Chain A
């Protein structure tokens, strides 16, 4: 079945005065599933998301959300899209439950508000005004407001920024459930583990462009090679090991008795190495696998220097 993408961005350019926030960005978000837009601060994540939400007018390029123009077709699009802003968006004097009920009342078929409050652990603070909620409670209320209208697509701008681990996992569980129920989720984050845990698809944004996109596994494979290390007796015949390994692998003995295999480290490669050790009567001591995490890939792609 071919479905049109939930979000299609082509050549998006957005400038603020002399500063170019987004510089020819392309992004396609498949319908269903979770897409994480990952990038350092100032990479252009929020500007991109807010253009999709209809808050910004592109200086160049096209943006289609559910096949519609976020600005021209705003009235048709708004009921179908849930939005969680990076911060704020709620009357300081509004009570948590009151605000969620109000948001629900703007929709035709909202979720059960009581169940959602329970689900997000907001039951104890339902009567508390927004200004008195903790940062985590404010974030969860904002998330609840984004999903209460039963949207097809939700944009979550840094949904777990500043949350404690419990609240973070509760948010992740909700995102997974949204995905399972067929809601398309686009979230921005600068937490690698969040992208790795949640996303079917990761778009790494830097300097206003998408510099890499793919599943977390594919991105991790695409970076520099991974490494397997073990210790054994010195002077093993690595030529026979190399014959058993895939062609693009290397094996070296940097210091006597320590061995390093570089290549695409997967279960098959590990099995090959241990089988070879068994054949040669070698106990592979301290065998370790160093696979690249998304963080390694991210830092490799975006550089390690801190940005202002």
Chain B
């Protein structure tokens, strides 16, 4: 075999910014191409918003149902993408050696996690745009400080990402799939998303209020429905979950 020079070594990593952009774009495409993920992140929140706003299934208290539901469904959208979707996708990437193979590429691990976060945020922007448009069409009338909403969404994303990655990095992929869906369902029902926490017994309420989903949906509702200022208590709960979840994920995550 004569040398053609085609494969003559010329190694080098691409610039970091380019690698992260490319990785984030790939992760986002994988997510949007996956039917099960779309069911979870788009179809279910949309259906819940439409169904519960137009049909009187759950007593949502005073005022328009959509004013109660829209903040809850936004919280659910964050839960579905940052926690459930990310846990399942990352769990299977770990199982099929995708994380392992990327570990041998020039992309540093922290940059991979940054790209994953970017992909989650892009997906959330798409979800929130869609759900907000539907809520407006249903007569939603939001109030409050946009900065408080943004802060809640960012801290909620951090909290759910930490917990999702902890699960994906420690359990078998099949166990993650089952557990992440179960947790999604339980938090959907018991986290103040579509059923007001006041419907639960007092003792349960005080525990449920400490769940990240409850803090997020409650905080969003205080701001968007009731025009409250900074929901410090809810932000505090989310920050605590974020620190715990991301800390534990950083400590226990196994790449293969």
Residues of A near any B CB (own CB < 8 A):
53-55, 75, 78-81, 83, 85, 87-94, 98, 102-103, 105-109, 111, 115, 145, 147, 149-152, 173, 176-183
Q: Return the chain B residue nearest A172 by Cβ.
A: B1
A107 near B12: Cβ-Cβ < 8 Å: yes
Interface residues on B, range: 35 or more
Q: Given contacts A176-B1, A180-B1, is CB(A111)–CB(B22) below 8 Å?
A: no
B106 at interface, CB cutoff 8 A: yes
Q: Return the CB mask of B11-49 against A: 1 if under 8 Å, else 0.
A: 111110011001100100110011000000000000000
Give the distance to chain A from B63, nearest Cβ to Cβ, in Å: 42
Contact of B8 among A85, A98, A182 (CB under 8 A): A182
- CB contacts (< 8 Å) of B18 on chain A: these are 105
User: Are the C-beta atoms of B13 and A111 separated by less than 8 Å?
Assistant: no
Inside 8 A of A102's CB, which chain B residues have their CB? 22-23, 26
**Is B97 positioned at the interface, with any CB of A under 8 Å from its CB?**
yes
Tell which of B13, B107, B108, B256 touches A55, judged by Cβ atoms closer than 8 Å. B256
Cβ-closest chain A residue relative to B26? A102
C-alpha spacing A109/B15, complex, angstroms: 11
Could you say which residues of chain B place their CB within 8 Å of the CB of A89? 96-98, 100-101
Interchain CB contact (< 8 A) of B9 among A93, A108, A151: A151
Which residue, of B1, B3, B92, B100, has the highest number of chain A Cβ atoms within 10 A? B1
B10 close to A (CB within 8 Å): yes
CB of A88 within 8 A of CB of B92, answer no
Contacts of B7 in A (CB 8 A): 111, 147, 150, 177-178, 181, 183
* 30 A-B contacts (beta carbon < 8 Å): A55-B100, A55-B103, A78-B13, A80-B9, A85-B97, A85-B101, A88-B101, A89-B98, A89-B100, A90-B96, A91-B26, A98-B26, A102-B22, A105-B22, A106-B13, A106-B23, A107-B11, A108-B11, A145-B101, A151-B11, A177-B1, A177-B3, A177-B6, A179-B1, A180-B3, A180-B4, A181-B3, A181-B4, A182-B3, A183-B8
Q: B9 CB to closest chain A CB, in angstroms?
A: 4
What is the chain A residue whose CB lies nearest that of B8? A181
Query: Is B104 a contact of A83 with CB atoms below 8 Å?
Result: yes
- Smallest CB gap from B25: residue in A: A102
In chain B, positions 74-111 with a C-beta closer than 8 Å to chain A are: 92-93, 96-98, 100-101, 103-108
20 additional A-B residue pairs with CB within 8 Å, beyond A149-B11, A149-B106, A180-B3: A78-B106, A79-B12, A79-B106, A88-B101, A91-B98, A94-B26, A105-B14, A106-B106, A106-B107, A108-B12, A108-B13, A108-B15, A109-B11, A111-B7, A150-B7, A150-B9, A151-B9, A151-B11, A182-B8, A183-B9
B146 in the interface, Cβ–Cβ < 8 Å? no
Are the CB atoms of A81 and B104 closer together than 8 Å? Answer: yes
Contact B97 A87 (CB under 8 A): yes
Bound: A149/B12 CA distance, A: 8
Asked whether, in the complex, the Cβ of A92 is within 8 Å of the Cβ of B11, the reply is no
